[in-house]
Amino acid sequence: MSKYPIGWYKFEESKKIKKGKLYTINRFGKAFVCFRSSDESVHIYDAYCPHLGAHLGVGGKIEKDKIVCPFHGWKYNTAGECVEIPYCKSIPKRAQLQSYPSVEAARGIYVYFSEDFRKPEESIPAFLQKPDLDFRQLDSLQIDWNKYEKLSEIAVNSKFPIQAKGPGLFISQESNSFKDFQMIISGTPLNDQVLDLTFSCSIDRNLNPFQKMKFKSTAKNQVEKILQHLL
Ligand code: FES
C-alpha cells in the first residue's frame, strides 16, 4: 500500500516554473520532471524515459512543447505520448511517459498524486480559483514527516477551525476587524521523512493597502499559534 494518501498536494510555487525549461522536482520519495508549455499550462511526469530509463531531467530539454530524452532523442508531447523516434518510423505502444493531473491556482501548482496514476475523484477547492482573491505565502518550512498525523489531528479536533480538503490541503477560516479570510496550509511529503509545509492566506483584491497589511499580520499570528501547537 502507498505511504502517501491519494489526492491533491501542492507541487511547486507557480513563479518557479518558467516556460520552455525542463525542471526536476523531488516529491513523495521520487523524481518528477515538469515544464510549462507555450499555452502557459504546466505538465508533470515521472522523470524516467520509458525506453531505457534515462533521467529526462539530466540533460533532457524542451523543444516546441516536447520533452526530448537526452539518451536516444525520443520526443514526448504534453500528453506524455512518444511522437518521434530518430531514424524510426513506428512508435511502440509502451512509449508513453506517465503523467500526473495538475492544476494551477492561488499562485501554486497542485498535483493529484497516486502511485497508480489515477484520475482525480474531486477537484481542488473552488475558492482557490476565485479571480477576486489574491494569495500570499506567509511561511514555509520543512518538518518531520511524522508530524503529518498531527496536522490531520488538529484539523479535526482542536481550537483551530481547520478543515481537511485533501491529504495535502487544509483550510482554516479566519477573520479580523475587516472581513473573514481563508488560510491555506499545504503539507507535501518530500519523502517518508520530510514534510514540506507552507502557509498562505487569501486576500480580497478590493481591499486597500492598510487593510491588506492588517490581514497579513492577523494571518501571521495565526501561523505562529498553529506552529506552536504542531512542533
Ligand atoms: S532512454 Fe530515452 S530515448 Fe532511450
**pLDDT tens digits, one per residue of 45-78:** 999 999 999 999 999 999 999 999 999 999 999 9
Phi, psi of 181 (to 5 degrees): -150, 170
Between the CA of 83 and the centroid of ligand 1 the distance, in Å, is 13
Residue located nearest, by CA, to atom 3 of ligand 1: 72
The neighbour count for residue 46, using CB atoms within 10 Å, is: 17
Q: What percent of the chain has pLDDT over 70?
A: 97
H or E segment to which residue 144 belongs = strand 133-144
* pLDDT at res. 1: 58
Tell me the mean pLDDT in the region 168-176.
80
Q: For the packed helices 209-230 and 147-157, what is the interaxial angle rounded to 10 degrees?
A: 120
- At residue 162 the predicted structure's pLDDT band, cuts being 50, 70 and 90, is confident
Ligand 1 pocket mutation pick from 49, 76, 98 by most atoms within 8 angstroms of CB: 49
Ligand 1 pocket mutation pick from 22, 33, 51, 55 by most atoms within 8 angstroms of CB: 51
Q: Read off the pLDDT of residues 95-131 as tens digits, 9 standing for 90 and up.
A: 999 999 999 999 999 999 998 889 998 898 888 888 8
CATH architecture of the domain 7-113 equals 3-layer Sandwich (2.102)
User: Please, are residues 214 and 222 in contact by the beta-carbon 8 Å criterion?
Assistant: no
- Which atom of ligand 1 is nearest the CA belonging to 53? 1
H or E segment to which residue 226 belongs = helix 209-230
- DSSP structural state of residue 55: B
Between the CA of 67 and the centroid of ligand 1 the distance, in Å, is 11
Of 25, 29, 10, nearest in space to 166 by CA: 10
CA distance 41 to 36: 6
Cα(first)–Cα(last) distance of the chain, in Å?
Answer: 28
Residue located nearest, by CA, to atom 1 of ligand 1: 52
CA distance 123 to 136: 21
Between the CA of 162 and the centroid of ligand 1 the distance, in Å, is 46
Q: Can you read off the three cell numbers belonging to residue 107? A: 499562485
Residues 79-98 as b or e (16 or more Cβ within 10 Å = b): ebebeebeeeeeeeeebebe
Q: Read off the pLDDT of residues 127-140 as tens digits, 9 standing for 90 and up.
A: 888 888 888 889 99
- Which atom of ligand 1 is nearest the CA belonging to 72? 3
Q: Provide the CATH number for the domain formed by 131-230 in this structure.
A: 3.30.310
User: Please, are residues 186 and 198 in contact by the beta-carbon 8 Å criterion?
Assistant: yes
Residue boundaries of the structural domains of the chain: 7-113, 131-230
Ligand 1 interacting residues, C-beta cut-off 6 A: 49, 51-52, 54, 69, 71-72, 74
